[in-house]
Structure 1
């Protein structure tokens, strides 16, 4: 069984959404504020999917292809 990454990076958001990497960094910061996370904490694929409205299955499918 292939292990799927648990956290999302700006480059992932860039590839999933088609937006810039800078937008990905901005979005990650907004998600951290939304979920009350500190700056050093990671954003999980579940949190990204919930915040963005993109189905978790699609996010995990992308992460499997990239890993």
Structure 2
């Protein structure tokens, strides 16, 4: 069974969107506020997909590489 990460990081967002890593950090903070998460909590791929509108399959392609 292939293990795929559950969490998404700023570097992943940089690869997916083509924006800067700083933009990825900013976006993760916005997603945390949107979902009512604490600063120390992680953002899952499902939450990122729901917020950004990018399909999970596309996100998994970038993360698995």
TM-score (norm. length: structure 2): 0.96
Q: Which ranges of structure 1 fall in alignment gaps of 5 or more residues?
A: none
Deviation by residue 1:7-41 (Cα, 9 ceiling, x = unmatched) = 00000000000000000000000000000000000
Query: Paired residues, what number?
Result: 65
Q: Which ranges of structure 2 fall in alignment gaps of 5 or more residues?
A: none
The CA deviation at 1:62 is 1.4
4+ aligned runs moved over 2 Å, structure 1: none
TM-score (norm. length: structure 1): 0.93
SS across alignment from 2:13: helix
